[in-house]
Chain A
């Protein structure tokens, strides 16, 4: 009897929830509906299929990246927000995404369900891209890749055949890995320990390939490695192990990391071991502490994009234009951003003045509106966008 009463009570409550849910779902005003385009499938069904982009006036995109909380992440998000506002849309960010395949797919599914028109991801490996392609095609959501190229030919062919894939923006990682090692060689470094991401990560795999090429060319040697470290304390432990186990170690090379405070932790471990004069630090992607590390003499070379957030900024501009119904290209774009080296404190401080403040904008909003918005700049193409990128890099270097 008690069970029956319970069942009746619960059935009644659940029914009430479903009715309330339906009422709440139907009760949106016209204005609210316009604010959340693509919000549900029933709305979509009423739209003509050939115009998924044009309905996205007031588009919404989502950017999913591993987020360590460093200044470069805030700088990236502030710039993409400014661009979205200038182009008449909104953007949401989700941290901790590119760190794992599960998190990447979950991000895509969640944001599709949340009704976005476009997605920017930084995939941890090529293998997740097939699923992302399928999910985005089914949901008619545009998407692009930042920081990563696609190494697997079969996957690349599959991804590029999708009409919802807008392209990728990345750096020449192999060459960067080579250059950092070459710079270290000039400083007399021969034996190197590396801190990198898990094998299978396209970015660090390519950087390591470049590093290996340099090793063969200059007679250098990678004597030890630590991977997939996410905490500064892990970096300390790894550095301490390297220093203890390899007495002839010349440098620790942070090839790639998503953790915050990793470089400072390594530099402190070197200092605590009393090896500041003999063991040096090198890295890719300019860390917030770059100026101090150069001043201390801990860091001897680093290489990076003009600004870490510039890759996602550029691919997001491509994505936003596509979502607005004014794509800059009828095929996926492929934009490589040149990296450059910083080897001394003055250049480091100049760079930090420019990009060490998260509120600095890459471009003024008027420029974004007039130049990066295809609706206002009919001449915007993949080639002209690449030209803008190259000019930005030149301005940063000079």
Chain B
């Protein structure tokens, strides 16, 4: 349904994510007695959105080509573990260890999808299981801890800088480079993109590598934040990122309708939602229930049934 405003047509689907974010902010600000926009709470929201935003920005490239990834939480856990192992030799080594291991696992996801010709959903479901096995082997059924000196790295200044860099770089590549345009072209029609000279397989692989590296970076920050690498690291990431992407308005079918504002709006909506529910005193189980309902409703509203009959 469209609206007419000042003689111009405004697509409700475009405005919907912004309205959602605003509604969430107003609702929780009202019911929490004005405790949402306090410096302390905004810091908590930024901390929360840091993980969701970075992963969703990277995931938007995967979604733009019309793919999905079920393994990102496990990739984060493996990267976190690699970082913890490397940090024992030298804390600085944890940085490349996390990003490279994430990128490698992302490359493997791309390999499975492109060269083994498996749908991304099934392919990443299989790789998730493989990565979980690797994780258990690395952890030997236990946990690893970070050197205490590393825990001081997790300043808000660093997080804001990284967030800003990721958003700026993501926005630039998504909107202004051949790579970003190729992603959307593939999502609209892979065959047409191929005939236009786009290296479809390479671009698809690259989206998984970028997501893997970004999630690897988050593995590093998770280690800095919690001081721990365990089998449960990143267990909430996938659900949060999927919800954020869909709440922001990224279409499951990918293509030209994918907009870069979606991961940003969606991530903040998710963070405000999660934080607001905590301020209301809801338990983890209640929050999961509400999150699941919102996820379902968002898919029901935004799913492009005409252009996508089968999830790839």
Contact = CB atoms under 8 A, between A and B. Distances in A.
Interface of A: 1-2, 5-6, 9-10, 13-14, 17-18, 20-22, 24-28, 32, 36, 39-42, 67, 92-97, 99-106, 109-115, 124-131, 134, 139, 152, 154-155, 158, 198-200, 227-228
B230 A139 contact: no
Contacts, number: 184
B47 interface: yes
A228 B222 contact: no
B8 A1 contact: yes
Interface string B273-310: 00100110101110000000000000000000000000
A124 B37 contact: no
Contact of B41 (A24, A32, A113): A113
20 contacts: A5-B8, A9-B10, A17-B26, A20-B29, A21-B34, A24-B30, A26-B34, A32-B33, A40-B35, A41-B38, A94-B278, A95-B284, A99-B232, A101-B232, A102-B233, A115-B40, A125-B230, A158-B148, A199-B143, A200-B230
Given A28-B33, A109-B47, A110-B278, A130 B38 contact: no
Interface string B205-221: 00000000000000000
B6 A5 contact: yes
Nearest to B274: A110
B231 interface: yes
B225 A111 contact: no
5 A-B pairs with the lowest CB-CB distances in the bound complex, closest first = A199-B142, A200-B143, A25-B34, A127-B145, A100-B232
A227 B227 CA distance: 21
A162 to B, nearest CB: 14
A355 B142 CA distance: 33
A41 B41 CA distance: 9
Interface string B126-152: 000000000000011111111010010
A131 B233 contact: no
B18 A10 contact: yes
Given A26-B34, A125-B230, 19 more contacts: A5-B8, A25-B36, A39-B33, A39-B35, A94-B284, A99-B232, A101-B232, A102-B232, A102-B236, A105-B225, A111-B278, A112-B44, A114-B279, A114-B281, A130-B151, A131-B151, A131-B154, A198-B231, A200-B143
Chain A interface, DSSP helix/strand/loop, else mixed: helix
A104 B34 contact: no
A40 B226 contact: no
Given A92-B281, A102-B226, A110-B278, A25 B35 contact: yes
Contacts of B164: none
Contacts of A101: 143, 226-228, 230, 232-233
A40 B141 contact: no
Interface string B101-134: 0000000000000000000000000000000000
A28 B6 CA distance: 38
Contacts of B148: 130, 154-155, 158
B22 A17 contact: yes
B40 A40 contact: yes
Interface string B30-68: 100111111111011101100000000000000000000
A26 B38 CA distance: 11
- Say which size band chain B's interface belongs to: 35 or more
Nearest to B9: A2
B101 to A, nearest CB: 18
A131 B141 contact: no
Contacts of B142: 198-200
A89 B40 CA distance: 22
A128 B227 contact: yes
B253 to A, nearest CB: 23
Best-buried of B18, B36, B278 by chain A (most CB within 10 Å) = B278
B25 interface: yes
Interface string B149-183: 00100100000000000000000000000000000
Nearest to B235: A100
B187 interface: no
A134 B47 CA distance: 15
Contact of A124 (B8, B33, B230, B281): B230
B254 interface: no
B119 to A, nearest CB: 28
Contacts of B249: none
Contacts of B37: 18, 21-22, 25
B267 to A, nearest CB: 16
B43 A113 contact: yes
Interface string B4-34: 0110111000110011001001100110011
Contact of B5 (A9, A109, A112): A9
Contacts of A26: 34
A97 B278 CA distance: 13
B277 to A, nearest CB: 9
B234 interface: yes
B39 A41 contact: yes
B26 A6 contact: no
A198 B233 CA distance: 13
B281 to A, nearest CB: 5
Given A40-B35, A100-B233, A114-B278, A21 B29 contact: yes
A99 B47 CA distance: 20
Contacts of B18: 10, 13
Contact of B39 (A21, A42, A105, A125): A42
Contacts of B10: 2, 5-6, 9
Nearest to B76: A102
B272 to A, nearest CB: 11
A102 B234 contact: yes
A224 to B, nearest CB: 13
A125 B35 contact: no
Nearest to B30: A24
Nearest to B40: A41
Contacts of A24: 29-30, 33-34
Contacts of B139: 198-199
